[in-house]
Structure 1
C-alpha cells in the first residue's frame, strides 16, 4: 500500500464515519486493525483522520465557503470526504505538495464518484487555493 492507496483508505474511513455519524478513535482503530496497512500508511491514515476530525468545523466552513452556496448536507458524502482529506492535507501536511493533494483528490473522485463531482471538487479546491495564494501576496 502506497500513499495513493493510503489516501483512498483514509477517504473511505472518513466516508464511513460520516455515514455512521461516528467520528470516534475506536472506529479508526478498528479500521486499521481490519485493513492492516504498513506502518507508513497506518501513520498517514491515523494522522490525516485525526487532523480531519480535530479540524472538522474549520474544514467544513472552508468547503461551504468555496462551494458556491451549497450546504454540506447537499454535497455527496464521497465528495465531502474527498474534500475534507484534500483540505486537511493542504492545511496540515507540509510534506505533501499542494498540487499533489488536489490531483489525488480529483483522481479519487473520478474513481469513487463521477466526472461532475471531479469538476465540483476542482472548483472548490481551486477557489480555496486561490484565496490562500492571495493571502501570501
Structure 2
C-alpha cells in the first residue's frame, strides 16, 4: 500500500508542477509531510517525481508518438501527469514490472479522473510498453 501512496504523491506533485501551482520540491515536501510517508517510500516518491521531471522532454516526446489524432498539450492535466509518471517507470525503472506500472497508472486515473480516461491511458501505455519490450528483445 505504501508504494501505491508513494505513486499517488508523486502524481500529485507532478500535477501541481504541470499546472504551475507549486514547484516540485515544495509540493513534495508538503505532500510527504501531510501523508506521514517516510523512509524508503518517501525516497521512492521523490525518485518518481524528480525523475519524471528530469526526463520530461523525452517522456513527452515518447508519449506524443502514441497519441493518435490528439495533441499532448490538450490532454487533461490529470491524464498528462499520470502518463508522465507511468512512462518514467516504463523507461527508467527496470526493476518495476511493466504490468505493475501500467496497473498503478490506471488506478490513479480511475481515482482522479474516470474509467473512460483509464481505458484511453491503457491503450497509450500498452502500445508504449510493447514497443519498449520489442526494442529490448532486439538489443
TM-score relative to the length of structure 2:
0.88
Structure 2 partner of 1:100:
100
For residue 29 of structure 1, report the CA deviation from its aligned partner: 3.2
Contiguous gaps of at least 5 residues in structure 1: none
2:116 & 2:7 partners in 1: Cα distance?
21
* RMSD, matched Cα: 1.7
- Correspondence list, 1:73-84, <5 A: 73-84=73-84
Structure 1 partner of 2:48:
48
Contiguous gaps of at least 5 residues in structure 2: none
The superposition leaves residues 37-88 of structure 1 with CA deviations (integer Å, 9 ceiling, x where unpaired) of 1212110111111111110000011111111132122111111111111111
For residue 23 of structure 1, report the CA deviation from its aligned partner: 4.5
TM-score relative to the length of structure 1:
0.89
Structure 2 partner of 1:71:
71
2:136 is aligned with 1:111: no
For residue 21 of structure 1, report the CA deviation from its aligned partner: 6.3
